[in-house]
Each structure stands twice: as structure tokens, then as C-alpha cells.
Structure 1
Amino acid sequence: MPKPPAGGSLSVPPAARTIAALPGAGSTAVWQGAIASLCMAVGGLGVGWMASGSSLIRVPFFIVLRDNPVLVFLSTALVVFGGLLLVRAWLRLDQRVQDWGAVDPKVTVRVAALWCAPLMLTFPLFSRDVYAYIGQGRLMAAGLDPYVNGISALNNYHNLGPDSMWTEAPTPYGPLFLWIEQGIVGLSGGSLEIAFLLFRIVAALGVVLCAVAVIGLSKHFGLDPSKTLWLTVANPLFVINFIASIHNDALMLGLLLVGLLAAVRRRPVLAVVLVTASIGVKPITVLALPFIGLIWAGKGAGWGRRIARWAGTAAISLALLTIAGAVSGFWFGWVPAMATPGTVWIWYAPFGLLSVVAGWLTQIAGGDPDFVAAIIKRLGTIIGVVAAAWLIVRGGTEKVMLRMALAFTAVVVTAPMIQPWYITWLMALFALVGVSGGRPQLAYYVVTVFFTVIALTDQLDVFEWIPLVVVRSVAIVLSVAFVAYMVLWDWKTRILFAPLIPSRRGA
């Protein structure tokens, strides 16, 4: 039977639109990924985030599971093993399939859905941001301004389970997500479990939007939709950070991508509305608006037309955000609140590490370490913004997607904190530029492995009398061992990482 053309889903017979029909016995890798996801979901019952105010905290099953150190370590092992087995399944799927042009995009979407499904029914993993969402929703329901008040303004706020960073800090989210938070809190009737399940459904809807947009954008740019879906929505980082961790980045990214799809299909006003909705979730996507203006201007447009389209894009978006601010009564309170994540740092963020080192050296010299660290962080932010602005004005209307991907990269890389879920934005945008193999695809392998390990070893919820340092050490050792196995010993996957291993010839 002849193979269908790349991206030509209409020519694929219905019988070939099932997981079992994946070429090269790819279904084996798919079911391996499903088992991996199930392991994570089961382990998440033991070390996923459970708020102290949860109605399940007194259920005997969870008391035994979370109170017994052996079961806690077993749960940790299941989560780590499942997360990295999912990475291996993802790698093997590409190896098995080889020719993604023979795969209907619907099949790849089903693969992603199968890998996400078990994680819909476990506790939040690797992040408790969803409990901050619930707290902010309660602030809204109480008539308090979340751009002024932290969650600590609520009675018994500790029972809600948010990270301590959010107890005093204002929310950096846009007005649309505040309404979603308030709506979910109202629908949940005070139940934390129902609330985070509803937020997980919202995240899943964001993933659906991503899938729809990726298929449409891939066809527009002449890319293979199934391969691009494999790089994005079926990527373990998307599954872990969007479904397991329940980050609102899923909805933010989904709205951004469907906005880009509307833009390339010559529906500029709809594109601006959708991207503005994305800004209403997380304002970082305001960075996409100038690129929407460039797409609207069209190829070969001169400065006059570009400036006119930028002005039109800004006017529409500003009008919508002003209306949203007026309706909520909070206006543009999210603008100063956006600085909240910049107060923290992480070791693999260049400017975050540099700020800490510079502060330490300043303290030794008798200076003010906080002042110096703040300057370094601010310098990184300025460099990122300037680089993004240069990419907006440089190059006219050519290579808009690549420049937008680079602009987002500049802003992320120069931030003092780089969260694993930030990387999903970049992976989606670069995938739509085109990743055909070689070094770009190797970069996807490395980034996926690295940030999966970061997620798996970062945040696990255990009772106070169980030593967290021991639990995390178990997670780190297991992660390092599994990665070493994939990279050095597994004859099926080590070939993918061979360019990173020094050659032994001549030794």
C-alpha cells in the first residue's frame, strides 16, 4: 500500500488511524508510555501535593500510603521511573515510526491523550501552583484584589496548600485567568479536590488547543503535522508540566498558538483577540503581539505598513485589556505584579546564578549582596527585552516565526528563574520553525531529558517526619541512573545521544 504524502491525513485509510497501525511497531512504544504515565499517577498518590485542608488527608488509605517511609520511597521510585520511562517511550516512538508522513495526525493526538489520561486522576505533581490558583480564586470570591493581596489575606490560608512564595505575593496572572480561578472556586463548592480536577480539565483544554493549532500551523508552513505533534503535545515535558503539574501555561500557550494560526490564515483581528486572551492568562505573551502585526503586514511590507499594523494590533489588544480591567475593577494591576517571579532564582539560569555569585562576593567584600544581586537580575531582564526588541524590528517581515521563537528564548534565558514549564513555550515555537533531525533534534532530546529530571527531583510532598532530603536523594540517584542507562548502555537509545559522547577511537 503506498504511503500517504507528509501531512496528508485525508489520504490515510480509516483503518490506519489507530495506534495499533503505527508503522515499525510503534504501538509498543506507545503502550510503554502509557504504563509509564500510569506509574507516575500511582506514585503521585503517595508523593503528589495534598493540601492540609484536603478532605482526603484523613482517609485511611492515604494515611498509610503517606505515613509509611517505605511506601513513600516506593511512590517516589514509581514517579521517577515513570517519568523517565515516558521519555524513553517518546524517544523510541520516533525511532520506531521513522517516517512520520505515514502517520495520521489524529493518531499522534491519540498517543498524547493516552499518555495524559492516567495523570488526570492523581494529585498535582512537581508543583503546587494549582493551590495558589485556588487561593487566588478565593480572594476574588471574597472581593479582594489579588494584585494587591497575597493568599495570606484569607483565613486559614495554610490549609489551601500554596507555596509560601504566593502567600504574601500578588498574582502575576491576567484578568481572564482570574475569572477562571473565581469560576472554578465557585463550581467546586469549597472542595480542593474538585477544584484541582477542574483546573486540570482547563489545562487539558489548553493542550487540545495546542494540538489543533500545531496541526494547522504545520500544514501552513509545510511541516509534517505528526512529527510536530510528537515534538510538542506528545513530548514528556508537555505531559508532565501541563497535565501532571496543572500549569496555566497550557491554556496560555494554546491560545497563543491558535492566535498564530488565525494570523497566518489572514484573520488578523481574531488573531489579536486570541493572543490578547493568552495575555489575559499570563501576560508574558504580550511579546507575541508585534509579531502578529508583522504577519498582518505581510511579506515585503515597508516600514509604513509595519508601523500601521503594529499600531492596529496594539490598539485592539489595549482596548480589550482595558475593558477586562474595567469589568474586573482591577484595571492593569497585573503590570507591577509581573515582577513577582523575578524575585527568585535557580542555578541553571545564567543570570540567576550570576546574581547569587556576585552577591556572595560582594558580601565577602563587605558590600550589600542584595543590592548587587538585584542589579544583576535587572540587567538580565534589560538584555532580554532589548534582544527581543531587536528581533522585532530586525529582518522586516521575513522569518517571523523564527524571530519570535528567538525573542521568547531571549526573555526566558535572561530571567533569574527558568521553570521547566517555560521551556514548553520555546519547544512549541521552534518546532513550528521546523526540526528535521540532526543537532536541532538532538537539542530536543537533551532539553527534554534535562528538564524532566529537574521536574522529577524538585518538588515532592511528604510528611514532616519523613526526611525530605532522603526522599529527594532517592529521586536524584534514580534519575541519574536511568539517564545514564539511556545515554550510555541502552543500545536502542544510546545511538541518539552518540554525538555527545567523546569518541574512543585512538584510545
Structure 2
Amino acid sequence: MPHTREGGSLSIPRTVRTIASLPGEGSVAVWQGAVASLSMAVGGLGVGWMASGSSLIRVPFFIALRDSPVLVVLCTVLVAFGGLFLVRAWLRLGQRVDDWSSVHPMVAVKAAALWCAPFMVTFPMLSRDVYSYIGQGRLMAAGLDPYLNGISALNNYHNLGPDSLWTEAPTPYGPLFLWIEQAVVAVSGGSLEIAFVLFRIVAVIGVALCAFSVVGLSEHFGLDPSKTLWLTVANPLFVINFVASIHNDALMLGFLLLGLLAAVKRRPVLAAVLVTASIGVKPITIIALPFIGLIWAGKGAGWGRRVACWAGTGAASLALLTVAGAATGFWFGWLPAMATPGTLWIWYAPFGLASEIAGNVTRAVGGDPELVAGIIKGIGTALGALGALWFVLRGGTERIFLRMALAFTAVVLTASMIQPWYITWLMALFALVGIREGWPLLTYYVATVFFTVIALTDQLDVFEWIPLWGVRAVAIVLSVAFVAYMVLWDWKTRVLFAPLIPKRSGA
């Protein structure tokens, strides 16, 4: 078990402070990752999400880039190749650094920053959620309740570029993020480009909070901060989903980890405030509150102290959320809105796939497919909640971080919709528990590769007269080929996945 200390200091005596001096030729991998990110960013100019109301849509350069099927395919190749090459660079960085203890944490932070930088000057990639953020900010500016009104309540809302799945749905975000959305819309002055750049800056702030917290938490648990940073903020899933795709999960996770850092440093009130801020971005992190109470209770605490700490943590959070709800005038409208993502499904989510199959079978025999699918999704949600509760109550005040990671995993894996960025929450928490060599690290690699491929092949923005299926087929074929190359033929990376490959029997 890793050695645990009561507190953590960010002043870590290391000698290696530059990327160029990374041991084991690690600097080569860092610069390969930079090239990969630049490739993706350039491709994003052609297939990243551009709203129809964008002022850039009439610029001749973008018209030429997006009107030509050949250039659109080229941009798709740059995005898919860049994304998987970034994964390979990340894997090689882990291989080339033999001793992470000789690497100063700032070197890992600089590597992550280098990989994130190209995305600051391209369109939102592989997701258009940021355009929903802009629409919700405009709802706030118009004095409309985003928990009761979808973006479709706005005039010409299609020009804002949101996904049609969300235009009539209430926002599932908390009051803090509503204020951020409103502030961004006010500062951007109606410019979609300025707005998504500002949201990217918000995401980068979230990544910075993650990095700071990871260092402190790693020290506390006796883990190597540099290696944990490599597993988290420098991970391609974090880079792509937080900065390239501009998801508010970056800020949500940043506040959550910062709250956990405050908790282990015996600052329970500050911890409750910071975790409540995370809930105020995306309420899913309400799962962490009882674990904050357990950390506050301390090792060996009996049921009486645990219940008292749970009550104190819950009361502090409830008071803050009540004040925020009163300030917005929307109170706790986010509670019913949290069910919005549960109406969707995806094939690799077990309960999502089961609900779709059952719904189709029910339709074939003349039944109500939506009722049956809804029941199965509801069962999954209930099982996830019960699983999370079990991890809260089971084990007393021991192995709190592992149980919290498992509680989040229970909720995510029983959902009917599992987005690639949801996996970043789990990866961060498990990395702070400690990823051992062997199958735990292999699982981490496989999850990174799989969900990167899902992200790269899911959402590409092309003009309607260019066949989207053909463009996505290019992304899928290239991604599968690159993964096969890394796993089966690349002699440098295939050793990482060797346990997955069946051994040939001898003659």
C-alpha cells in the first residue's frame, strides 16, 4: 500500500525541470504529441463544429475547406490520425520515462500544456455542447428559466449551432455554470467565436485546477505526482474532451479534486464549499459529498461521528445550493433536469443497449417500446444509485478514495448513455488510488484507446451535401487501422497490449 501522509506540499525537490531533459528520450514523445495535437487542430478547421450563425461561415478560406469533399476527407484524416498519434505519444512517454521520480511535476504539466495549446485556435471538435452552453447563456440573459425552457425558446436558435437533441431539453447543469454561461454571453457580445474561446479558457482553468489538485493528492497518498499527472491531465482523453471539445466536465472535475484535496488536509468546510461548486457545474458530483463526510470523520470513526459529519457536510452544501437557487430564482430546477441524459442510449452502455433491444422486440410484438425501454433504463439508474450507496456505507472510513471511484463507476456504467468524457472522472479518481502495473494499467490503456476512438469517430461537422456516412467511415477505418497497428505490429507499443493477444500454440 502507498505511504499516506496527513498533508501535502507542492514544493517537490526534483532536478529535471525541462521537457528537453526528460529521461529515456521522453522529450521525443512529448514533441510527437505536440505534432499530433497540431494535426487535429488543423483538421478541426475543416470538420470542427461551425455554427450556421458564425461570422466565419462566409469567409472564402472556410468555404473552400468545407465545400470540397477531398479537403473534408483530408481534414478528417488529420483529426483521426492526430488523435491516435497523440495516444501513441502518450503511451511512449510512459514507456520512455523509466523513473518518474526524476521528473519534476511541472515537466508533466508543460507537456500537457503543449498538447492542449493547438486546440485554442480551432473550432470546437467532436462535440457541439459548447453551443448549447451559449444558448443556455442567452436563455439566462433573456430572463428565461433554462430548467423549464430549451434553447428552442430563442429566436433563430438553430443559428447558434446546438445539437438538435438538446434544443428542447432543459439544462442538466447547476446554478454556478448557468452564471458562467450568462457571463460568457455578456462578455462575448453576441459573437459565437469569442464565446467558445471564452468557454475554452474556462475549460483550461478546470484543467489547471485538476493539475494542482493531482499534485497535492498524489503527495498525500504517497504516489508519484509526475506519473499521476501523466495518467490524468496529460492523458489524450483529458486533452481531447476537455480542451478540444470544450466540456464543462473540466471545471466540474477541477472543483471536485480541489475539494478532495481540502478534505484530506483537514479543511472540511472548504471541502464542502468546493465540492458544492463542482455540483453547481454538474450535479453528478453530489456522489462525492458523503465521502467528504467520511474523510472528515477520520479513520476508525463510529457510526455516530460518521452520521454527524454526513449531516454537517450535507447541510453546508444544501445551504449553499439554496442560496444559489434563490439568487437565480430557479431554485432546485436542476434536480428533475438531471434525468435528461437518461433519455438517450448508446451501444456500448449495457443498459442502453438492453433498453434498445427490448424496445425493438416490444415494437415487433405490438407493445409499447418506449415504456419497456424506459423501465430498463430506470432499473439501470436504480442499480447505479444503490451501488453508489453501498460503497458509501460499506467499509467504514477505510479506502475512501477507492470506494468513491467505485461509486462513480457504478453510476456511470449503469447509465443508458456513457459519453467519452464521463470516463475522465473515473480515470482521475482511480489514478489517485494508484494504478498498479499489470491488468490495472492495461485496463487504463484500453479505456484510453477505446474512448479516444469513440470520440474521434462520433461527431464530425460537414455540409449537408457531403455524405456524412462516408466521412465517418474514413475516420472509423483509419482509427481501427491505427489501433491495430499499435496493438499488433508496432514493436514499441504492442508489448503494452501483449496480454490481450492470444499466444500461438507451438507446432
Q: Which TM-score band applies after superposition, normalised by the shorter structure?
A: over 0.9
Q: Partner of 1:299 in structure 2? A: 299
Q: Per-residue CA shift, 1:350-407, capped at 9, x if unaligned? A: 0000001111121222211111000000000000000100110110000000000000
Q: Partner of 1:427 in structure 2? A: 427
Q: Partner of 1:217 in structure 2? A: 217
Tell me if 1:360 matches 2:372. no
- Aligned to 1:242, the other structure's residue is in SS state helix
Q: Partner of 2:314 in structure 1? A: 314
Instruction: Indicate conservation of the 8 Å contact 1:126/1:245, yes or no.
Output: yes
Q: How does 1:353-432 map to 2 (within 5 A)?
A: 353-432=353-432
CA distance in 2, matches of 1:491, 1:390: 44
Q: How does 1:57-72 map to 2 (within 5 A)?
A: 57-72=57-72
Instruction: Indicate conservation of the 8 Å contact 1:9/1:104, yes or no.
Output: no
CA distance in 1, matches of 2:361, 2:72: 40
CA distance in 1, matches of 2:115, 2:35: 8
Q: How does 1:248-267 map to 2 (within 5 A)?
A: 248-267=248-267
Letter in 2 for 1:301: A
Instruction: Indicate conservation of the 8 Å contact 2:10/2:215, yes or no.
Output: no
Tell me if 1:31 matches 2:31. yes
1:9 Cα deviation from its structure 2 partner: 6.2
- The TM-score normalised by the length of structure 2 is 0.98
Tell me if 1:325 matches 2:325. yes
Q: Partner of 2:3 in structure 1? A: none
Q: Partner of 2:232 in structure 1? A: 232
Q: Where in structure 2 are there 5+ consecutive unaligned residues?
A: 1-8
Q: Partner of 1:177 in structure 2? A: 177
1:22 Cα deviation from its structure 2 partner: 0.4
Q: Which runs of 4+ in 1 moved over 3 A?
A: 7-10
CA distance in 1, matches of 2:160, 2:403: 41
Q: How does 1:50-61 map to 2 (within 5 A)?
A: 50-61=50-61
Q: Percent identity?
A: 79
1:165 Cα deviation from its structure 2 partner: 1.3
Instruction: Indicate conservation of the 8 Å contact 1:108/1:226, yes or no.
Output: yes
Letter in 2 for 1:413: L
Q: Per-residue CA shift, 1:129-148, capped at 9, x if unaligned? A: 00000000000000000000
1:97 Cα deviation from its structure 2 partner: 0.4
1:256 Cα deviation from its structure 2 partner: 0.1
Q: Per-residue CA shift, 1:201-238, capped at 9, x if unaligned? A: 00000000000000000000000101100100000000
Instruction: Indicate conservation of the 8 Å contact 1:139/1:154, yes or no.
Output: yes
Instruction: Indicate conservation of the 8 Å contact 1:342/1:417, yes or no.
Output: yes
Tell me if 1:347 matches 2:347. yes
CA distance in 2, matches of 1:448, 1:10: 28
Q: Partner of 1:501 in structure 2? A: 501
Tell me if 1:116 matches 2:116. yes
Q: How does 1:416-455 map to 2 (within 5 A)?
A: 416-455=416-455
Instruction: Indicate conservation of the 8 Å contact 2:10/2:216, yes or no.
Output: no
- Aligned to 1:162, the other structure's residue is in SS state coil
1:126 Cα deviation from its structure 2 partner: 0.5
Letter in 2 for 1:12: R
- Aligned to 2:170, the other structure's residue is in SS state coil
Q: Partner of 1:125 in structure 2? A: 125
Instruction: Indicate conservation of the 8 Å contact 2:486/2:493, yes or no.
Output: yes
Q: Per-residue CA shift, 1:435-454, capped at 9, x if unaligned? A: 13111110111000000000
Q: Per-residue CA shift, 1:260-295, capped at 9, x if unaligned? A: 000000000000000000000000000000000000
Letter in 1 for 2:70: V
1:81 Cα deviation from its structure 2 partner: 0.4
Q: Partner of 1:3 in structure 2? A: none
Tell me if 1:478 matches 2:478. yes
Instruction: Indicate conservation of the 8 Å contact 2:84/2:452, yes or no.
Output: yes
CA distance in 2, matches of 1:336, 1:320: 19
Letter in 1 for 2:32: Q
Letter in 1 for 2:284: I
Q: Partner of 2:46 in structure 1? A: 46
Q: How does 1:191-202 map to 2 (within 5 A)?
A: 191-202=191-202
Q: Partner of 1:21 in structure 2? A: 21
Q: Per-residue CA shift, 1:21-80, capped at 9, x if unaligned? A: 100010000000000000000000000000000000000000000001100000000000
- The TM-score normalised by the length of structure 1 is 0.98
Instruction: Indicate conservation of the 8 Å contact 1:29/1:93, yes or no.
Output: yes
Tell me if 1:12 matches 2:17. no
CA distance in 2, matches of 1:440, 1:115: 25
Letter in 2 for 1:227: K
- Aligned to 1:168, the other structure's residue is in SS state coil
Q: Partner of 1:91 in structure 2? A: 91
CA distance in 2, matches of 1:256, 1:12: 27
- Aligned to 2:167, the other structure's residue is in SS state helix
Q: Where in structure 1 are there 5+ consecutive unaligned residues?
A: 1-6
Q: Partner of 1:285 in structure 2? A: 285
Tell me if 1:187 matches 2:187. yes
- Aligned to 1:418, the other structure's residue is in SS state coil
CA distance in 2, matches of 1:438, 1:229: 19
Q: CA RMSD in A?
A: 0.9
1:8 Cα deviation from its structure 2 partner: 9.3
Instruction: Indicate conservation of the 8 Å contact 1:9/1:105, yes or no.
Output: no
CA distance in 2, matches of 1:32, 1:363: 51
CA distance in 1, matches of 2:113, 2:36: 14
- Aligned to 1:276, the other structure's residue is in SS state helix
Q: Per-residue CA shift, 1:110-160, capped at 9, x if unaligned? A: 000000000111000000000000000000000000000000000000000
- Aligned to 1:11, the other structure's residue is in SS state coil
Q: Partner of 1:76 in structure 2? A: 76
CA distance in 2, matches of 1:204, 1:318: 28
CA distance in 1, matches of 2:376, 2:204: 37
CA distance in 2, matches of 1:284, 1:434: 23
CA distance in 2, matches of 1:363, 1:155: 37
CA distance in 1, matches of 2:190, 2:438: 51
1:308 Cα deviation from its structure 2 partner: 0.2
Instruction: Indicate conservation of the 8 Å contact 1:209/1:255, yes or no.
Output: yes
Q: Per-residue CA shift, 1:403-445, capped at 9, x if unaligned? A: 0000000000000000000000000000000013111110111
